Amino acid sequence: MDDHQTLRRDLRLALKRKELFLEYQPIVAGRSIAGYEALLRWRHPVFGLVPPVTFIPIAEADGLMPEIGVLALRQACTDALNWPQHQSIAVNLSPAQFLSADLTDSISQTLDAIGFPAERLILEITESVLLERTINNLDILNILKLLGIRIALDDFGTEYSSLSYLKNFPFDYIKIDKYFISDLIENENSRTIVDFVIGLAHGLGMAVTAEGVETEQQARWLIEKGCDHLQGYFFGRPMGAAAVESFNGIWDKN
Ligand code: C2E
Ligand code: CA
Ligand code: CA
Ligand code: CA
């Protein structure tokens, strides 16, 4: 059995053995932490930490993603209940989750069960999520918005980037992929694109998050251009739930 097949087999067990957990990465607005993005981790008993880019596609293909997604949402909201009320929690939605028939019911039941305000939840979706089903994607997003949940368009610029998505869907945030942020300072094309996307988003009444901000120079440039939210190793790496509370404590003192 090759590694891939081993991982496939073990992923089912991982759910039972509770080997999956979340880390949280801060998202910064001005001098405060606007919230955190929840990122899935798998601590495999033999292979150690398996990255989400490896196991999430397996979970998608094997039909495990709706179940993992519900667990992740529940855990993220439970942890975020302990944080300051102004902080949001961003949770990634996979295509399979988005396609599951009971998505909106399942999300609102989870929120109700935990007593977590929908206004503090941001769901991150990629354009490929919207490609899968064209008929009632807009209905689903509108129901989520009616519940009070905000929607972020993730990885903007790396997929199809059809502007029709921006015209037709009610996003609250556009997340510019780190592909454009990592070489901002050296690459004029990246700067032109990022500057344009910030203006475009603001013109449409959407806020912008830059991801993959690793240096102070990148952060300064983005702030000067009016980028609303910044996320990346420069501010903080993904961390365990326990570390979030001390991280918040340090920032509060600033
Ligand atoms: P993403 O949603 O675009 O998440 C951002 C990725 O960039 C994360 O990788 C994060 O750790 C990484 N990152 C953040 N700041 C920096 C930086 O300054 N420099 C660099 N080089 N990287 C940075 P991660 O945690 O490995 O996650 C990879 C992808 O896996 C995510 O991309 C997302 O597509 C998927 N993923 C992670 N957790 C979940 C989840 O709970 N559900 C779903 N459906 N997908 C998830
Ligand atoms: Ca994301
Ligand atoms: Ca992203
Ligand atoms: Ca990504």
pLDDT tens-place values along the chain, 254 residues long: 678 889 999 999 998 899 999 999 999 999 999 999 999 999 999 999 999 999 999 999 999 999 999 999 999 999 999 999 999 999 999 988 888 888 999 999 999 999 999 999 999 999 888 876 566 888 999 999 999 999 999 999 887 767 888 888 999 999 999 999 999 999 999 999 999 999 999 999 999 999 999 999 999 999 999 999 999 999 999 999 999 999 999 887 66
* pLDDT for 69: 95
Q: Is the CB of 72 under 6 A from ligand 1?
A: yes
Tokens 């609102």 -> residue: 108
70 CB near ligand 1 (under 6 Å)? no
- With a 6 Å cutoff on the Cβ, whether 155 touches ligand 1 is yes
Regarding the beta carbon of 40 and ligand 1, being less than 6 Å apart is answered yes
Residue with tokens 């949402």: 73
Task: Tell how far the Cα of 36 is from the centroid of ligand 1, in angstroms.
Answer: 12
The pLDDT assigned to 4 comes to: 85
Residue 1 Cα to ligand 2 middle (Å):
32
- Does ligand 1 lie within 6 Å of residue 183's CB atom? no
Contact 215, 185 (CB under 8 A): yes
- Could you say which ligand is closest to the alpha carbon of residue 177? 3
Nearest atom in ligand 1 to 238's CA:
11
Q: Give the residue from 79, 64, 72, 53 showing the smallest Cα distance to 8.
A: 64
212 touches ligand 1 (CB under 6 Å): yes
pTM of the model: 0.96
- Residues 94, 125: Cα–Cα separation, whole Å: 7
User: Residue 243: which H helix or E strand, with range?
Assistant: helix 241-252
Distance of CA 162 to the CA centre of its chain: 20
Task: List the one residue out of 204, 151, 195, 203 whose CA is nearest residue 176.
Answer: 195
CATH of domain 1-245: 3.20.20.450
Distance of CA 175 to the CA centre of its chain: 9
Residue type, 37: E
CA pair distance 169, 172, nearest whole angstrom: 9
Question: What pLDDT does 177 receive?
Answer: 95
What pLDDT does residue 99 have? 84
Per-residue pLDDT, 162: 74
Is the C-beta atom of 26 inside 6 A of ligand 1? no
Atom of ligand 1 lying closest to residue 38 CA: 41
Q: How many CB atoms lie within 10 A of CB 85?
A: 10
CA–CA gap between residue 200 and residue 177 (Å, rounded): 15
Query: Where do the structural domains in the chain lie, given as residue ranges?
Result: 1-245
Q: Whose CA is nearest to atom 4 of ligand 1?
A: 39
Tell me which residue has its CA closest to atom 12 in ligand 1. 212
Q: Return the pLDDT at 133.
A: 59
